Each structure stands twice: as C-alpha cells, then as structure tokens.
Amino acid sequence: MSYDPRQELVEICHLMAARNFTTAAGGNISVRMPDGTCWVTPSQLHKARVTCDDLVRVNAQLEVLDGVRRPSSEMLVHQAVYRALPQATAVIHAHPPIASGFAMAHVPLRTTSSSEGAVVLGAEVPCIPYVQPGTAALADLVCDAVDARHPAYLLANHGVLTWGTDLWASYDALDTLELFAHSLVIATILGGPRPLPDAELQALEALA
C-alpha cells in the first residue's frame, strides 16, 4: 500500500497545539506525495481539533481531490518550497511565540553558540522580508529565498517556515528553532551567547 501521511500529519497538528507552536487556527502543514499532489491542513480549524477526515489533498492547481474542507490559504508558500527544493516532501508554517518575536524584529538567528542549533538548523535561520500572507508575491519571494542548507526561515512580521525530507524532519526543524530562539533570549539576558570556535562549527556542519 502506498504511504498515507494523514495520521502523522494529525499527530503533528496536535503536537504543535500542545507545545504552543502556533495560534489556534493559524499555521499549516503539508506533505508532498510521489505523484506531486499534496495533503494539507484545512483553513481555519484549530490544530488541536484536526482529524484525518479534515485533511485535504490538492493538485498543483490547488483543486481539491480528496476531503471536504478548504485547503489552507498559505498553500501557495508550501508549493513555492516544493518548487525550489525537489528533496522537500514536507513543509510547516507556524507562529511559535519566541521565534516569531525574532521575525517581528527582523533578526535572523545565528546558530554559532549552539551545537544542536548548528547541526539541525545550519549556520543561521534567515529572515525573509515581509510580503502579505497568502499572496503569489510571497510565494515567489519564498521560492527565491529557500535553499538546501537552511531548513528553517523567519517570515518577517509573521511567523516561521520549515521544510524537511519527511514530516518529522520538518517538525524537528520547527521544534529546534523555537527552543533555540528561547535559549538565545536567555543567553542574551545573561551577557550574550558565546560562539563556538570556527573549527568546531565546521565539524558540526559536516554532521548535518
């Protein structure tokens, strides 16, 4: 039987709600299937309440092939990531409070002070400039901005975007981003993060 991602997608919706990684009805998750169609979370439904029956499968034109709900309005951004990165099979957009604070301040996160951050997130979490959510203009900007070295991005004045080669990798990037952002705030209060030596960062990069 071919892979059915719906149960895992629901599990991650509930985790995102439980861990305060997004506003109630905000944020969205998608999985790209081998035939190019995508399973995606529906528009305007609390992530804690999503069930398999609420998920929607869409084609490249965003026509609904399975499901009765409306797909997320931010599916254009997910498609932009898939267009830019053939290896991406899952995308998450969320509003985790601490990383979103960095997005509001337009401050990219340098991971030089965290071995875990450097391995999971790469050298930095770039900040993609603000464009109105849900628009083709934002999708075009995201398509140009994402690359294979960075699994996580800040969306200025909005939230965050992560991708992975599977659903759990994209969730891992989201989880690591939010916890790292929290640690960075604490380190800043305590006198500022102390960077690892360049040679150690290069060794960590090789592990990624």
> Of 159 and 164, which CB lies nearer to Zn ion in the complex structure?
159
CB of 208 to Zn ion, least distance (A): 27
Looking only at residues 70 through 99 of this chain, which bind Zn ion when binding is defined by CB under 5 A? Answer: none
CB of 68 to Zn ion, least distance (A): 23
Query: Between β-strands 159-164 and 90-94, what pairing exists: parallel, antiparallel or unpaired?
Result: antiparallel
Residue with tokens 């083709």: 136
How far apart are the C-alpha atoms of 21 and 44, rounded to whole Å? 16
Residue nearest to Zn ion (CB): 159
Looking only at residues 25 through 54 of this chain, which bind Zn ion when binding is defined by CB under 5 A? Answer: none
> Of 67 and 159, which CB lies nearer to Zn ion in the complex structure?
159
Q: What is the DSSP string of 94-138?
A: E--HHHHHHHHHT-PEE-TT-HHHHHHH-SEE-EEPP--TTSHHH
DSSP 84: H
CB of 77 to Zn ion, least distance (A): 9
> Of 151 and 159, which CB lies nearer to Zn ion in the complex structure?
159
Total of chain residues touching Zn ion, rule CB under 5 A:
1
CB of 155 to Zn ion, least distance (A): 7
How far apart are the C-alpha atoms of 170 and 31, rounded to whole Å? 10
Looking only at residues 104 through 163 of this chain, which bind Zn ion when binding is defined by CB under 5 A? Answer: 159
> Of 5 and 159, which CB lies nearer to Zn ion in the complex structure?
159
Sheet holding 90-94, edge to edge: 64-66, 56-58, 38-40, 28-32, 90-94, 159-164, 152-155, 127-128
CB of 35 to Zn ion, least distance (A): 27
Residue 162: phi and psi, rounded to 5, are: -130, 155
Looking only at residues 159 through 188 of this chain, which bind Zn ion when binding is defined by CB under 5 A? Answer: 159
Residue 29: phi and psi, rounded to 5, are: -135, 140
How far apart are the C-alpha atoms of 65 and 103, rounded to whole Å? 34
> Of 55 and 94, which CB lies nearer to Zn ion in the complex structure?
94
Residue with tokens 């004045």: 157
> Of 72 and 176, which CB lies nearer to Zn ion in the complex structure?
72
CB of 144 to Zn ion, least distance (A): 19
Q: Which residues bind Zn ion (CB under 5 A)?
A: 159
